[in-house]
Structure formats: C-alpha cells, structure tokens
Amino acid sequence: MRVLIPAYEPDARLVDLVAALRPGAAVVVVDDGSGPAHRPHFDACEALGATVLRHPANRGKAAALRTGFAWALAHAPGEAVVCADSDGQHTVEDIGAVAAALASARDDAVVLGVRAFAGDVPLRSRVGNRATTALLAAATGRRVTDTQTGLRGYPAALLPWALGVRGERFAYELELLLAASRRGIATIEVPIATVYLSGNASSHFRPLVDSARVMRPLVLFAASSLIAFGVDTVALLALSAATGSLAAAVVGARVLSASTNFAINRRTVFRSRGRVGAQAVRYAALAGVLLFLSYSTLRTLTELGVPLLAAKVATDAVLWALSYGIQRSLVFAPTPSPAAATESTTVTLIAHESGARTHV
C-alpha cells in the first residue's frame, strides 16, 4: 500500500508528516510545480525515503493525484493507494485507520476519511461541505458525510477507473464521488479528526473559483430537466393554440420533451452504459405515468380557473422530484462494477522519479 501526498507550496508540515509515516509506509509525494523556494521541503522528503514526483509547473490537485495514480500502476502494480493532504490536516493515526479499512474492504469500494466538522471549524469549510453534501445527496441519492475530504483510499483495482474520471483541480474529487455513484462503486466512511490549523490558511481552495468548479457537475443534473421543461412548455402552448385540445397538446408536448430528456439524461447526466433499449422501455413507462399525472393535474387546476401556464409550472415543479428520483434509481440505475478496471486509460506521466521504493 502506498500513501500519496499531492503538495503545492508546502511548509515544514509536509516533512513532519513524511517523517512520521516513514519507514513504516511507502510514501509518494507529488510536487505540483511549487517552485525553487519549496525545493528544500521536497529534498527533505526524499532524504527520508519518499519517492518525489515533480511537475515543472502547477497543474492542480487533480493532475497531481493522476500523476500519483499512474506512478502506482506503473511501479507498484497491485498495491492500493491512500491519498492524504500535505497541510497537517490528516494525522498519521487517521491515515492508518483509512489504510486498515481499505485493507479489509472489498476491491470495488472507496474508503473516505470523514470529519465531523465539530468545534472551531472555519465558516467557509463548514458551509461549503454542507452545501455539497446536500447537493450530492439530491443528485445521486447517496449521502456522503464529508464530500471535501482529501483522505481517501483506493484499491488497486479502481486506480484505472480513477484515472479515467474527468474533472480538474478540486472539482475532480467531487467528480470521483459522482462517478462512483453512477458506477455503483461503494463508499466506506471512516471517522477522522477535524483538524484546521491557522484558520485553514494553508488551503489552496479558492471559495469562489473552486466552488464554481465543484458545483458545475451537479448543475448538469438540473439542467436537463430545465431544458425538457422549456421544450414541453413551448410545445404545450403552441399545440394547445393550434389544436384547441388540451389532451393532444399535453401528449404531443410530452413526447417531444421526453425524447429530449431521455437523450440528455442518458448521455450527459447519468452517463449510463446500460442497454438503451431496456432503458427506453423503462423511461417510456415512467413517461406514461407522468403523462397521466400531468394531464389529470392540469385538467383539475384549469377547471378550477388556474391559468394554463401557472398550472403547468406548479404541476411540473411537483412531478420533477418524482421523475428524477425514479430515473436515477430505476431507469438509469448505476451499473454494478466488480472492479471498474475495465476502462482503458492511457496517462502520460511527466514527473521525475527519485527516492527509495519501499513496501508496507
């Protein structure tokens, strides 16, 4: 098992962490373009026996993690990887706890070291984690206690999958959670200490820029429904005016919007790899139920004197949650992944390898 530590402009805490882990653990440190001023810290890690991989320029945490994963696959095949941050937030005891859980877990499960966020926690960290936790639960139906944790364990069989997940910088770690949900990969949580030093001043997470990146993949889940809603609403109004029949308008509009929604959800939202025919049948059955509910509700509301547009907005607002939950859990259900290592990914490792190779 390897401990992977991505680092950008670290201080002495990186060296302290490596010293505490060595010689009992094999450590790989990725210098993500920190520059000459921070070279002594990485040299000290090498002197302690760690392998140091270097990016000539800063490429972000996602690239640093991918570099470490690629190195592990090439130089330590069959070994699991535990990722830890370089800023002192992860104790040796907690790294060991995640490593122990990973060693006893299935080969298709990711282990997360999760914090309780109790005590003196910076506001941006507390609010940011709660927001992404709520959005992730709404988007995938899976509740993760700590979506922003950098202490994670990946079995060797999942490293090719992790390399193939899209996402850059801090958004990559959230993308891994989203991708795990889509592929049916389990997550195991291990409680760890909540450690913030100097108000988390060493963190390179930028609240505005990186929060936007983190939220972007979650927005896709809502965007498809909004597009379908727009298609459905325009078609309903146009067909209603053209035919004078509410039933014909509702059916025609729903056929157009459902076709649009199915295509976008399958390719973009859920990224499903299941059989399109079976999914289309399940989606059609769902669409039929929703069509009946939509027509019944619209007819009732309009007979009560509610304007058609207002009735449409109110009806779809209620049916949206029902539709999304069924699509997520039944229509585009995650494909169970025994190891998720069937994905073939080619990664170019641009790094300088040095230091001793050791095994836990």
Structure confidence by residue, pLDDT tens digits, 172-210: 898 898 889 878 899 999 999 877 554 444 454 555 555
Give the model's pLDDT for residue 335.
Answer: 63
Residue 343 maps to a domain: no
pLDDT at 351: 41
Q: What is the SS3 string spanning the chain? A: CEEEEEECCCCHHHHHHHHHHCCCCEEEEEEECCCHHHHHHHHHHHHCCCEEEEECCCCCHHHHHHHHHHHHHHHCCCCCEEECCCCCCCCHHHHHHHHHHHHHCCCCEEEEEEECCCCCCCHHHHHHHHHHHHHHHHHHCCCCCCCCCCCEEECHHHHHHHHHCCCCCCHHHHHHHHHHHHHCCEEEEEEECCCCCHHHCCCCCCHHHHHHHHHHHHHHHHHHHHHHHHHHHHHHHHHHHHHCCHHHHHHHHHHHHHHHHHHHHHHHHCCCCCCHHHHHHHHHHHHHHHHHHHHHHHHHHHHCCCCHHHHHHHHHHHHHHHHHHHHHHHHCCCCCCCCCCCCCCCCCCCCCCCCCCCCC
Left (φ > 0), alpha (ψ -120 to 50) or beta: where does 11 sit?
Answer: beta
Burial group, residue 242, by CB count within 10 angstroms (0-12, 13-18, 19+)? exposed
Structural domain of 230: 220-331
Q: Could you tell me if residue 113 is inside a domain?
A: yes
pLDDT band at 358; cut points 50, 70, 90: very low
Q: Are 1 and 25 in contact (CB under 8 A)?
A: yes
Most confident of 76-85, 166-175, 314-323: 76-85
Which of 76, 158, 146 is CA-nearest to residue 109?
A: 158
Q: 340 near 161, Cβ under 8 Å?
A: yes
The residue among 250 and 42 whose pLDDT is bigger is 42
Give the chain's domain count: 2
* Same-domain pairing of 89 and 184: yes
User: Which of 34, 35, 42 lies closest to 12, judged by CA?
Assistant: 42
Does 154 score more than 80 pLDDT? Answer: yes
In this prediction, residue 323 carries a pLDDT of 82
Within-domain flag for 236: yes
What pLDDT score does 54 carry? 97
Q: For residue 351, is it within any domain?
A: no
For residues 122 and 167, membership in a common domain is answered with yes
Asked if residue 347 is part of any domain, the answer here is no
Residues 209 and 87 in one domain: yes
Q: What is the mean pLDDT of residues 294-320?
A: 90
pLDDT higher at 223 or 153: 153
Residue 275 and residue 245 share a domain: yes
Max avg pLDDT among 40-44, 113-117, 249-253:
40-44
pLDDT at 254: 84
Are residues 172 and 47 both part of a single domain? yes
pLDDT digits (tens, 9 = 90+) for 49-105: 999 999 999 999 999 999 999 999 999 999 999 999 998 889 999 999 999 999 998
Least confident of 16-30, 146-160, 204-218: 204-218
Percent of the chain with pLDDT over 70: 82
CATH number assigned to the domain comprising residue 186 = 3.90.550.10
Same domain, 191 and 72: yes
Please state the separation of Cα 192 from the chain's center in Å. 20
- The overall average pLDDT reported for the chain is 84
Determine the average pLDDT of the residues in 267-285. Answer: 87
- pLDDT beyond 90 at 222: no
